[in-house]
Structure 1
Amino acid sequence: MKKSTPLIIFLIIIIFNAISLFSSLSINDSVLLINFYVNLFTLDLMLLVVLFLFYKYKVSIFDPVVFILTIYILMFIVTPIYDILNNKILWFGVNLFKYGVKGTLIALLGFCGFIFGYFITYKYKPNSIIGEKIYSGKVYQYKNNEAIIISVVGWIGCLIISMIYFYLNMGFNIVYILGMGFYGNIDKSITSDIALGSLYIFSYSLLPFSLVYLKIGKSKILKVVMFWMTLAVHFTMGFRFIILTYLAGIIIMYLISNNKKVKLRYIIIGLFISILLIGLLEVVRGDIRRGSGATLDMFSFKNSVESVFYNFRIYKTYYGVIKAVPNQVPYMYFDQMLIYTLVMLIPRGIWPGKPGATGIEAMRVGISEYAAAAGQAYPNLGEFYYSFGILGVVFFMFIYGRIAYYFKNKFLDRKNDIMNIMIYSLFLPANLQLLIRGYLPSNLYFVLFLLLPIVVIKKITRVSVSN
């Protein structure tokens, strides 16, 4: 962080506060006004703490704490301010801001837990900063030919499994997927008596196998095919977080492996493209899934920005959890985070009586029957609070901070190892999903299938170590 950066950011904070306070003059509801002031004060406090710690420890732009706290603050603090100022109050027809102040203060405690967990053993390594001398520790070498074979075979295997899932569950054929839903048709007569939902998880591993080949593979044509097919599979399903993880992972891998400095204009361009991509998927994914033919009539930058805020509005579901738990709905404890995580991947064809997903009751009581029926999710704080209350939020955010620091210390600070770079390049953007969707049974397997293929290739193909 340059010496002038804190001053610039501090000036931006002052300007933002001035504009927000002026805009708040139009707020007539006392509950909303209190929420506004509490969120604005909390935002200032968080940003000042972040500025101090980042400047003190010389935090790199690629440190996970930068990305994680950016998403965290945008979701729990900035978006509520935006919604109050723009009168976007209701969520499934319900006003939940009565519980907003408590939600914001709990989010502040979670922020403190994460900060403490991350920085408690933080060690600044000047030779690990992007643009300077790279880490001077052990250098691992790999059998590239073996790594290439494993990545191609693994990618093909996961693609076949994904295609089976798409065809038998949704009627998608190869033409429809290659055309990303804009070309071809789906076969709505296709049905399967076997529950194959868990097969979709293998599509996550298309990302790491593809990333390995993109970095060390030799055939440009195969690289294009793997990239396009990986992108097409997830675009057809409309899962934005996977596409963003994949594209961001490729860019991060390039920047870190080539020791590139990240300039502000590139960050702005990247954010602009990400917003457009989110907006595009918001417009077309419903039509693609239904096979009715995607159109771009509603696509615009303004609608894309609104789509981004809509995804961050999941904080309102978190408010709904606070409303219901524990006064009307008891804590889950480990029912979801441990027990259902263990049984989630067991197919219903093997276990017909497998229980359904837990953690829905708070949605029914805290928001509405419709929200529960729609499978409305909550962010990570919602799961932590639903499980163990305020102490659960602080404790699990502390653990999250420790995990984030582990990845920084284990992979980012040892980036002369190409496999470490690949693992870290996927882990960093994957945190978007871990923050905005608090559902450990799904998130754990997402991370495992995202990172384990590279870990396995690393173990199998490593041949020597030098200093």
Structure 2
Amino acid sequence: MVKKNKKSRFLLALLVYISIFFFLLIISMVIDTTYDAKKLFSACIAAYVIIGICLIIHIGTSGGDFFEPITFISILYMMLFIFEPMIDVYEDNLNWFGGNYTSFGVKGTWIAIAGYLGFFIGYRVERFSFASFSYNKLRYKVKKKPEEMEDDAYYTKVAVIFWIVCYSISVLFLLLSGKSLAFILTGGLTGNGDLLESRKMLGVLSMFSYCLVGAWMLYFVYGKNKSLKVITFILTVFIYYIRGYRFIIIIFVLAPIVFVYLYKQKRPKFVTITAAIIVMIIFVGFVAAARNSVRYGGGISNDMVNWDAALEQVKDNFRIYKTYYALVGYVPQETNYLHGQQIFLYTAFMFVPRIIWKSKPETSAGLYLIRDAISESAFLSGTAYPIIGEFYIEFGSAGVVIFMFLYGYLNKSWLNRYGLSYSKFDKIMYSILLLSNFQIVIRGYTPSNFYMVIFFVLPLLFIKFLKGIKRI
């Protein structure tokens, strides 16, 4: 049965891959656009062919799985560097903050391909072979192993304490930022929501809101009170919504769903996945449309829920590939690489509170490059760049390949350590780490992403730390 399902998935993936290729080929022949845009479209087709072959190899040799990091990351990667650029070429939507950076697109696409190959090799380095494997370990378990003894009552206690403490700190941060308690508890429906400049001095407090993901997941799995689960879930969503955390909300909402599928060794049907994508598009679009209004104390209205507007907001999250193109055209032609200033140096002192270090830089060198490469408005609007954009401005094309290799290896390590475990505790850890790739791939800013992941799983790490002390 396992071999049959594996073969069926491989044949289906191959059919879809070939069908999309011919569809894109036809579009490339009839599209009417500029010379640079046509070159970019062709480069994107080449990228699709190469990345698609890698995925086909993986599915053919390992079985493939929807909840495996390589599947998850590959979809996001192709949306950023293949499909969204193609859509924009087709719709003639190539300008970005008043500039057009399409001429750098071909170079940017080939660097992206090299980066993906680095990721692919890093992910499969333990078994980089074209030989067949008998089953996919993540989806199918040959033998049911006994679970590690888990203290449900103890985990529940830690979860509740962590959630209460971190929620209180999150509320305190919002109060000191100018939000009223009514505004916070109702998700911006009532109350006052002014935004004060003093919040910049309290940035370290804002990071504790990330802990709510791990704390709530622990209670979701080990807790008994269903009403408390629902209440804390809603209050957590309100916190993230007021902060404008679109993808953090998605990670938080999807984490329990992914956990249930993984633990029950089931996978969502195609109809379920399609429905979930539609709901996510509407939700992300709504949050994106309302985020500035809520952040600055404005209200929300029904006219913010609009399919076309929601779809455009989602597409804008992937259009940051244009920022990446601009950086490819600016570095190192106009300025030198950063050589680790952002990835290493700024990550090291980002957590130091401004109230202690008053002269701490307002932002990192990488973000200032956006102002220099594009415009002041792009910088002030907070436009970001994808994961490889950061690797590129730090160490160039070689940096993209090396860091994507390490990123692939890291995700495979998470899969081996937590994803293949039978422990509910490890499944919680894996669900959170897997979904963290949403933010990491699309928002390539290591200082923020590093602490985001650490605080996501801090309640779980705390439990592991206490377990380690007890063994000594």
TM-score by length of structure 2 reads: 0.92
Structure-1 separation of matches of 2:134 and 2:414: 15
Distance, in Å, in 2 between the alignment partners of 1:19 and 1:145 is: 55
- Between the aligned partners of 2:333 and 2:112, the Cα distance in structure 1 is 20
Give the C-alpha shift of residue 455 in structure 1. 2.2
CA positional deviation for 1:446: 0.2
| Cα distance change on mapping 1:111 and 1:187 into 2, 3 Å | closer
Deviation at 1:453, TM superposition (A): 1.3
Query: Does 110-119 or 303-312 show the bigger shift?
Result: 303-312
* Residue of structure 2 in register with 1:167 after alignment: 175
Residue-by-residue CA offset, 1:233-252 (whole Å, 9 max, x unaligned)? 10122211110101111101
The match for 2:277 is 271
Secondary structure of 2:268's partner?
coil
C-alpha distance in 2, partners of 1:394/1:176?
Answer: 45
2:440 to 434, 452, 462: 434
* Partner deviation per Cα, 1:140-178 (whole Å, 9 max, x = no partner): 212221211111011000011001100111x22332223
Name 1:141's counterpart in structure 2.
149
Which of 117, 126, 137 is the aligned partner of 1:128? 137
Aligned pairs for 1:378-457 within 5 A: 378-414=385-421, 416-457=422-463
Q: For the aligned residues, what is the CA RMSD? A: 2.2
User: Is contact 1:143–1:461 with CA below 8 Å preserved after alignment?
Assistant: no
2-side partners of 1:189 and 1:409: how far apart? Answer: 44
* Secondary structure, counterpart of 1:411 in structure 2: helix
Between the aligned partners of 1:64 and 1:241, the Cα distance in structure 2 is 17
Counterpart of 1:376 (choices 379, 383, 389) is 383
Q: Structure 1: which amino acid aligns with 2:326? A: G
Distance 2:460 2:40 in 1: 45
Judge conservation of contact 2:115–2:400 (CA < 8 Å) in 1: yes
Aligned mates of 1:144, 1:58 — CA distance in 2:
34
Aligned 8 A contact 1:312 1:436 in 2: yes
**Following the alignment from structure 2 to structure 1, what is the Cα–Cα distance between the partners of residues 329 and 92?**
21
User: Secondary structure of 2:302's match?
Assistant: coil
Q: Give matches, 1:139-288, under 5 Å.
A: 139-169=147-177, 171-181=178-188, 183-186=189-192, 188=194, 192=198, 195-288=201-294
Q: Does 1:362 align with 2:362?
A: no
The SS at the match of 2:92 is coil
Q: Establish whether residue 41 from structure 1 lines up as the match of residue 46 from structure 2.
A: yes
- Match of residue 56 from structure 1: 61
Asked if the contact 2:50/2:113 (under 8 Å) is kept, the reply is no
1:279 and 1:203 mapped to 2: Cα distance? 22
TM-aligned CA deviation for residue 364 of structure 1: 2.2
Shift of 1:302: 2.6
Q: Counterpart amino acid of 2:119?
A: F
Q: Which residue of 316, 325, 345 maps to 1:319? A: 325
Once residues 340 and 326 of structure 1 are traced to their aligned partners in structure 2, the CA distance between those partners, rounded to angstroms, is 21
Q: Secondary structure at the match of 1:294?
A: coil
Distance 2:160 2:235 in 1: 13
- Could you tell me how far apart the structure 1 residues matched to 2:190 and 2:356 are? 34
Aligned counterpart, 2:114: 109
The 1:112/1:91 distance shift into structure 2, 3 A limit, reads: same
Checking the alignment, whether the CA contact within 8 Å between 1:122 and 1:405 is kept in structure 2 is: no
Q: 2:17 aligns with which of 8, 13, 18?
A: 13
How far did residue 299 of structure 1 move? 2.0
State how far apart, in whole Å, the 2-side matches of 1:364 and 1:342 are: 23
> What does the per-residue CA deviation read over 1:177-219, in whole Å, with 9 as the maximum and x for residues that have no partner?
23221x2121549774881122110000011101100111121
Gap change, CA 1:48 and 1:351, over 3 Å in 2: same
Task: Give the 3 Å change call, closer, same or farther, for CA 324–420 of structure 1 in structure 2.
Answer: same
Unaligned runs of 5+ in 1: none
1:85 is aligned to 2:90: yes
Distance in 2 of aligned mates of 1:60 and 1:291: 43
Deviations 1:404-462 (A, max 9, x none): 00001000111x11110000011111101111111111010000001121122244358
Q: 1: distance between equivalents of 2:63 and 2:18?
A: 23
Which segment is superposed worse, 39-48 or 421-430?
A: 39-48
Partner SS, residue 148 of structure 2: strand
Determine helix, strand or coil for the equivalent of 2:112. Answer: helix
Distance 1:302 1:241 in 2: 19
Query: In 2, are the aligned partners of 1:278 and 1:304 still within 8 Å (CA)?
Result: yes
Aligned-residue identity in percent: 32
Structure 1 pair 440/101, CA: closer, same or farther in 2 (3 Å)?
Answer: same
2:347 aligns to what?
A: 341
Q: How far, CA to CA, are the matches of 1:77 and 1:134 in structure 2?
A: 40
Conserved 8 A contact 1:333-1:387:
yes
Change (3 A) 1:97 1:63: same
2:27 counterpart (2, 11, 23):
23
Structure 2 unmatched runs, 5+: none
Q: Secondary structure at the match of 2:149?
A: strand
